[in-house]
Amino acid sequence: MHRFSPAFATASLVAASLGLGAQHASALDIAVFDAALFDTNGFAFGDFDPANVPGAVDTTGGVLSLNISTDFDAANGLFGGAGSDIVSMPNFDAATVQLEVALTVQPGNVADNLRIVLADSDGPGSGEEFQFFFDLSGVTPGVPTTLTQDLLSPGPVFSQPGFGLFPGDGVQNYGLTQIQIQSAFGETNPLIVDVASVKIVDPLDPTLIALTPATQAAAVNNFTFGSFSETGAVDTSNDTFVIDAEVAAGGDFPGTSFGGIGYTLDTPFDFDTPNAELVIDAKLLADNEATAFRILLGDSDGDDSGPGLGSDDFLFDVDTSLLNGVDFTEIVIPLGSGSESAIEQTFGFTNPGDGLQDFGLVSFQIQAISDSTVDRLNVEVASVSIRPLTATAVDGDANGDGNVDLLDFDILAGNFGVGPGAVGGETIGDFNGDGNVDLLDFDILAGNFGFTSSAAVPEPASIALLGLGGAALLRRRR
């Protein structure tokens, strides 16, 4: 993939003040199961079902308080589950994500594990349930704890056909349809824990919010309009937006190719605009005639009626000459007042907003540009996302704070000798990506020691300290 920052995007790419760090310091929540989702879309069975055992699952405290200590049917032990369907069916790469369970083990718990079940759809009527074991034996009671494991090489895991479904392909190639918490079949020890959340997260993805086929389909208020609503104009079958907006004979804008696709949010999504960037991942297709297309970000500053502020649409033009027809190009536009191509008053709002990019985001769209709509727009857009400004990357910056210093040395030292096949890359000190944390990585850190986002000159005293640290690593290695 190519990465391109247009010339008009002049804001700094250093995000030291953002508080979110570099890319590997943040994570994208792909799917979340918690008390709120259980209350609106959840189910329970067996000894988890409050209809069978009052108080077995209690959400009044804002968490899933599980007290599985009564075998109501005197069968299968203290067994059951609580979960929710995931209606958006997110697709993700199981090799790049991890399961994350935030919980507190309560006094009285005796069970040494709980299970997380992920249901994977393989088409109508078929699919698998993959079950992952989380060990509770080392968790301190009363202390909020987050347990994680990857999906491809976790602790004990097994799969079975989904309930009422034919067997799937046996591969974790999610569409995710369901998340469950279960006890062990035949368990005799009470499971008494508070679960704040079960998440599937991508630890390397800092995305704040995205417009993709999955997020657009999952949004309650999604839409297409104009030429994008014509049959075949937008194809999402490959998890991308393949847009072919030909000149439409009829519809709302006859004789043009003007249209769009996107969604509106029920509540504004707030983020720190000057420290964020707009990222468009797109490819040019064969029949394109348009010189640009447009990303619209709607910013609500008040009510849509009466006196006061309303809402503005900030428009960002994407030059199609920056794209190619071979692979996807990542175009990055730093956000902040003045970086937009144009500002318009939001359709349907009585008043304009303040004209400043101080988002609550209320609308996220891809559009053809209205002043060039006789040109056919034919592009493929994998995603449009908003993420923290990407900090200047430098080898040796293990914690992603834009500096190479003793904090990074401490990380390398703590993991020194890990390998082969170390997982975590630069975040654990494997700066050359060879699967080991060793003296080759120390040499890389030493070579960049003293780098900051504003200066790259190592201080002599720091180099001397690092030299002593290198000697310590040598002793440890021997």
The string of DSSP letters for 373-407 reads TTSPEEEEEEEEEEEEPPPPP-TT-TT-SS--SHH
Q: Is the model's pLDDT at 119 over the cut of 70?
A: yes
CB distance 250 to 259 below 8 Å: no
Q: How many other C-beta atoms are found inside a 10 Å radius of the C-beta of residue 240?
A: 19
CB distance 351 to 302 below 8 Å: yes
DSSP 431: T
pLDDT at res. 12: 21
* Nearest CA among 82, 92, 178 for reference residue 128: 178
Q: How far apart are CA 244 and CA 198, in angstroms?
A: 39
CA atoms within 13 A on the CB side of 142: 2
The pLDDT confidence band at residue 365, using thresholds 50, 70 and 90, is very high
CB distance 383 to 271 below 8 Å: no
pLDDT at res. 452: 66
Average pLDDT, the chain: 83
Neighbouring residues of 87: CB distance < 8 A, sequence distance ≥ 6: 41, 218
Q: In which residue are the tokens 């949004």 written?
A: 219
pLDDT at res. 10: 26
Torsion of CA 217, 223, 226, 232, to 10 degrees: 20
CB distance 275 to 357 below 8 Å: no
Mean pLDDT, to the nearest integer, of 429-455? 79
Q: Is the model's pLDDT at 27 over the cut of 80?
A: no
pLDDT at res. 372: 78
- Pick the range with the lowest mean pLDDT from 119-133, 263-277, 460-474: 460-474
DSSP 358: -
Q: Cα-flanking dihedrals φ and ψ of residue 346, to 5°?
A: -65, 135
**CB burial of residue 404 (10 Å; 0-12, 13-18, 19+):** buried
Report the interhelical angle of 406-415 vs 439-448 (nearest 10°): 180
Distant-in-sequence contacts of 68-74, Cβ < 8 A, 24+ apart: 68/111, 68/183, 68/187, 68/190, 68/191, 68/192, 69/108, 69/190, 69/191, 69/192, 71/47, 72/46, 72/47, 73/46, 73/47
Q: How many other C-beta atoms are found inside a 10 Å radius of the C-beta of residue 160?
A: 12
CB distance 380 to 286 below 8 Å: no
Q: What is the pLDDT of residues 397-407, one digit of tens each?
A: 887 776 788 88
DSSP 13-80: ---TTTSS-SGGG--EEEEEEEHHHHHHHEEEEETT-TTTSTTSEE-TTSSEEEEE---TTSSSSS-E
CB distance 412 to 398 below 8 Å: yes
* Nearest CA among 149, 141, 147 for reference residue 105: 141
* Nearest CA among 179, 195, 162, 185 for reference residue 56: 195
Q: What is the pLDDT of residues 253-298, one digit of tens each?
A: 888 999 999 999 888 888 888 888 999 999 999 999 999 999 999 9
> What is the pTM assigned to this prediction?
0.51
CB distance 51 to 45 below 8 Å: no
Angle at 29 between CA 61 and CA 113, to 5 degrees: 60
pLDDT at res. 474: 52
What distance lies between CA 199 and its chain's CA centroid?
11
Token code pair at residue 50 = 């409050």
**Does residue 420 have a cis peptide bond before it, meaning omega lies within 30 degrees of 0?**
yes
Q: What count of residues does the chain have?
A: 478
Mean pLDDT, to the nearest integer, of 153-171? 79
